[in-house]
Structure 1
Amino acid sequence: MKLRSNWRSAQNNDAALPAILAARVDRYYRERVQEHWAGGHIMMGREPGNDALHLSSNDYLSIARHPEILDAVCANIRAEGNGLLMSGIFLHGDACPQLQLEDRFAAYMGAEAGVLCQSGFAANTGLIQSIADAQTPIYVDMMAHMSLWEGIRSAGARAISFLHNDVDHLEQRIERNGPGVVIVDSVYSTNGSVAPLAAIADVCAEHDCVLVVDESHSLGTHGPHGAGLVVELGLTDRVHFRTASLAKAFAGRAGFISCSRRFQEYFKFEALPAIFSSTLLPHEVAGLAATLDVIEREDWRRMRLAANARYLRVRLTELGYNLNGSETQIIALEAGPEQRTIVLRDALEARGIFGSVFCAPATAQNRSLVRISVNAALTDQELERFIDACDEMRGEVDMWNWPSTRRAAGRGAARAGVRQVQPVAERATA
């Protein structure tokens, strides 16, 4: 496997930039590339070989090459081409495929109506722009997706963060600052933890707050026929808005917002991404419609995904890895400082295993990690290959001295009332 190094050529090809920008670009190469990454690049390791095990894709249900979906896309491209390229605000009529699909998604999620957007990012930023302003306090989980934070910023609203999944801290914030909008992910994309949605909904109802739940990593993978965690928990009447990227389990390129019928029209003529971006292309709509058919019908994919993820979480925990509360198909190996994460990335890739590197601003400083995205197509042999690699490399990556490992050991010692120590065999190889 070759090292990916073509990014380096970009370092010296800039035309002369004005000093105000040149200083910013130079700071990136000096502070991140040279100081943090020792002249390498945290995202650019080896090139995957033919036998690589890819654990970086969000195609959780393994449907990106499903023949039924591909046939629908190809047939539509031949029939419709790229269609009419225009803003979605001009779409109307009962025969419009995109509007029909909006109604299908809404019914699927147990909502009155919904809006298809160009991406999950556009859905989140557009929604927050349309429900908040400078006078609106927005209570946001500190691990919420960056698109939600960007929506708060672009709305000019006041962001008030609360500790991850800490309902008591959320309520304290609301009592101090008043009613507003509460924003959480159902499943957090960084570490796979799950929000305590029922308790959060209770707090929102008690304090008259709007509740927004991003279901990007639970739509398709959780709930009856994949309808999401909100449906699974029976909270559809208590969550005001659900958003989702359809580039995860739905393996497409779009976003969705569930809402009321009255809000649906309001959003389309208030949210800037809805007004000033072109609508989805016809073949994207056809592909998503076929994908919804597959996801509703093939429940075995969710069952296999859940079983694969559960197996890996149990085995990795037995090996001593701190999974930071993962309960889903997203598993984080948190090495901490970026240089340690480069060592972890290299150890995995040397064994033909490729995950996704997450570092600031996707994580907090010094909490970088390699995210493992489990999928339904993983075989028993591939699961064992990954576990064997994680077992073999613990000493090589100094796993017992990762900050995340030490945190887990500290919590375990506190619960047991005894000091946990590194196993002798592992200390000998560290």
Structure 2
Amino acid sequence: MKSIFDRTTQRHNRPALPAFVTARVERYYRERVQETWGGGHIMRGRIAGPDALHLSSNDYLAIARHPDIIGSMAGTLRENGNGLLMSGIFLHGDCPQLQFESRLATFMHAEAGVLCQSGYAANTGLIQSIASAQTPVYVDMMAHMSLWEGIRSAGAVPVAFRHNDVAHLEQQIGRYGQGVVLVDSVYSTTGSVCRLVALADVCERHGCVFVVDESHSLGTHGPRGAGLVVELGLESRVAFRTASLAKAFAGRAGFITCPVDFQEYFKFESNPAIFSSTLLPHEISGLDATLSVIEAADRRRTRLASSAAWLRQRLTELGYNLNGSESQIIALEAGTEQRTIVLRDALESRGIFGSVFCAPATARNRALIRLSIHAALSDGEVEKIASVCRDIRSEVELDKWPSTRRRGDELSSRRRKRESTNEQTAVTA
């Protein structure tokens, strides 16, 4: 097999890369592109037509084109351009970014907050600021990659616990001691919802710092979209909340809620905060306008929740294992990457475009297509998604998916438990 560099059709003046780099590149093309994807690409399917349903965006409330947001951004851009390009450590006084930090913190029922360049920067910077090499950091196995990266950047000790398994977390804490617990409120891969109340109880019993990533619940859950932590009344029991504002907020930023004295400490301790430029003026004004839109978006939230619930029920009835999804994120887990390509093509040929998730975003051989439901879908469009998923079951060999077999095993286990309970009840009677 020729080197990918040898196959380049047009030569450029560029330095030769050493063998240890080219070997890694070659391994990708050999093992992923050629052997696994058959010369194609798992992320490069069809080009969507004008009537396609796009279910790959995280714009859950369908507000990315809202005129109030666009108007605010355009006006600020015309007036201020890109503003002053500098690190956020220089900001003080009465400036728009600090004003928005305060407003968003109040909206989330928090004492204070910090605006970051992204959700990724928020998570990595926060963990770097609260953990050290001596700190055990307990992390749900399904938690977002940025949380894992934060542990690595802090040089801390990662201790995984089984997904949503409260008892396993407590066992791990009993073994390794007081530390930090990291979870997502809504898990981005499968849409399952964290058992936040039970985990808060565990953290309190053992004196652990509880950190909740609300990227996929901020804007969609809670009063006026304040998030799942607020909905459950856990504001005083969760030390830090983080969020990407590239989901329901349809922007490009991250946020951390925190105690007021932690706010300045973070800005002068976190490497992403110190060594990155602030957001641009039009981004701040856009986010501020977005918050106003989200506060008034109860009908959009209701529509989103009802559409997602109806579709989850229909897909479950059709035999799909949704891995505990209770949100607007619905995953169809085909298993291997080869099977996921078949599923992708079956959906896209019928006008349904979701997001492919595979390693390292998922465990190996647990690849899937994620469908992100949004508030602008009509009843007919939601019905089309269900109908397409019904029609392709044989084509994608749904009965052979490992997730389907797991669902069958779970149903059999539940049936046996019910039968055992009924027998015990009959004997007692």
Q: If the TM-score is normalised by the length of the shorter chain, which range does it land in? A: over 0.9
Q: Specify the SS of the correspondent of 2:365.
A: coil
Residues 22-56 of structure 1: per-residue CA shift (max 9 Å, x gap): 10000001111111111111000101011111000
Cα 1:324–1:238 change in 2 (3 A) is same
Q: Give the match for residue 164 of structure 2.
A: 165
Amino acid in structure 2 at the alignment position of 1:107:
T
Q: Take 2:297 and 2:386, find their aligned partners in 1: how far apart are those partners? A: 28
Q: Report how many residues are paired.
A: 410
When residues 18 and 10 of structure 1 are mapped into structure 2, their CA distance, relative to the original with a 3 A threshold, is: closer
Alpha-carbon distance between aligned partners in 1 of 2:54 and 2:386, rounded to the nearest angstrom: 14
Aligned-pair CA distance for 1:381: 1.1
2:300 is the alignment partner of 1:301: yes
Q: Equivalent residue for 1:389?
A: 388
1:401 aligns with 2:373: no
Is residue 2:229 matched to residue 1:226? no
Amino acid at match of 1:185: D
Q: 2:23 maps to what in 1? A: 23
Q: 1:223 offset after TM fit, Å? A: 0.2
TM-score (norm 2): 0.94
Measured after TM superposition, the shift of residue 18 of structure 1 is: 1.2
Instruction: Give the corresponding residue for 1:5.
Output: none
Report the Cα distance in structure 1 between the residues aligned to 2:414 and 2:230, rounded to whole angstroms. 34
Distance 1:52 1:12 in 2: 34
Does 2:91 correspond to 1:91? Answer: yes
Aligned counterpart, 2:75:
75
Q: Quickly say closer, same or farther: Cα 1:17–1:9, change in 2 above 3 A.
A: closer
Q: Deviations over 1:60-93 (max 9, x none)?
A: 0000000011000000001111000000000000
Counterpart CA distance in 1 for 2:79 and 2:17 is 47
In the alignment, which residue of structure 1 is the partner of 2:179?
A: 180
SS at match of 1:63: coil
Alpha-carbon separation, structure 1, partners of 2:294 and 2:142: 28
Which residue of the partner structure matches residue 128 of structure 2? 129
Q: Which runs of 5+ in 2 are unaligned?
A: 418-429
Q: Which residue of 2 aligns with 1:194?
A: 193
Aligned to 1:117: 116
- Report the aligned-residue RMSD: 1.4
Task: Write out per-residue CA displacement over residues 378-409 of structure 1, whole angstroms, 9 at most, x where no aligned residue.
Answer: 00111111111100000000001100000000
Structure 2 counterpart of 1:278: 277
Q: 1:9 to 1:317 in 2, by over 3 A?
A: farther
TM-superposed CA distance for 1:10, in Å, is 11
Q: Residues of 1 paired with 2:226 and 2:372: CA distance? A: 20
Residue aligning to 2:426: none
Distance in 2, matches of 1:156 and 1:413, equals: 44
How many Å separate the matches in 1 of 2:51 and 2:197?
43
Give secondary structure in 2 for the equivalent of 1:195. coil
Q: CA deviation at 1:179?
A: 0.1
How far the C-alpha of 1:417 sits from its partner, in A, is 3.0
**Structure 1 length as normaliser, TM-score?**
0.94
3-state secondary structure, aligned to 2:44: coil
In structure 1, C-alpha distance between the alignment counterparts of 2:174 and 2:104, rounded to whole Å: 36
SS at match of 1:308: helix
Aligned to 1:56: 56
- SS of the aligned residue for 2:332 comes to strand
State the SS of the aligned residue for 1:417.
helix
State how far apart, in whole Å, the 2-side matches of 1:339 and 1:11 are: 26
> Is residue 318 of structure 2 the alignment partner of residue 323 of structure 1?
no
Does the residue aligned with 1:332 lie in a helix, a strand or coil?
Answer: strand
For 1:341 and 1:50, the matched residues in 2 are separated by 24
Look up the SS of the partner of 1:116 in the other structure.
strand
Counterpart-to-counterpart distance in 1, 2:7 and 2:126: 37
Q: Secondary structure at the match of 2:197?
A: helix
